[in-house]
Amino acid sequence: MSDKKELFAGLREKIDAVLSMNCGAERMLEAICTLLANEVEYYDWVGFYLVTGRKDELVLGPFVGAPTEHVCIPFGKGICGQAAAVGETVIIQDVTKVTNYLSCAPDVLSEIVVPIFGKDGRILGEIDIDSHDVAPFSFEDKEFLEYIAQRLPEVVALV
């Protein structure tokens, strides 16, 4: 597990560097998706879902990976909607064992979804990561992705 800790420590620095650039909110989110997808071997789909018009619906934002038909997800539906409804990180180590899963691709076997909150506690969006491996996500992944989510409210609010 120390390899993960080292990997995520280095990625925190890279994420912070991306967030210090003045290149626009959408480009920063795209850069974070690309960085995570390229640097973490088992992050096979990395994207953001954002709360935009309707306050009870997630809309697909920047992502890296296979296209998905799930561009709008109501709160409560699927893993992303569930995380939005309960307001906490959801980790599914084997999506075949979950009845509330919205399949994006047949090779996805696990998913982690981390909410992004505004200063007022309102959900602004989520980081969504799919993996083609069963049970790849650890406490280190959760802690790392929650760190990123805590850094994003101002960025997500601008998209």
- Residue 159 vs residues 27, 70, 100: alpha-carbon distances, Å: 10, 19, 28
Q: How does the average pLDDT of the chain come out, rounded?
A: 92
State yes or no: pLDDT of 1 exceeds 70.
no
Strands (E) in 101-141, as ranges, are: 110-117, 123-131
3-class state of residue 56 by DSSP: coil
Query: Is the CATH number of domain 2-157 3.40.1390.10?
Result: no
pTM comes to 0.94
- Confidence (pLDDT) at 2: 60
pLDDT per residue as tens digits for the range 122-132 = 999 999 999 99
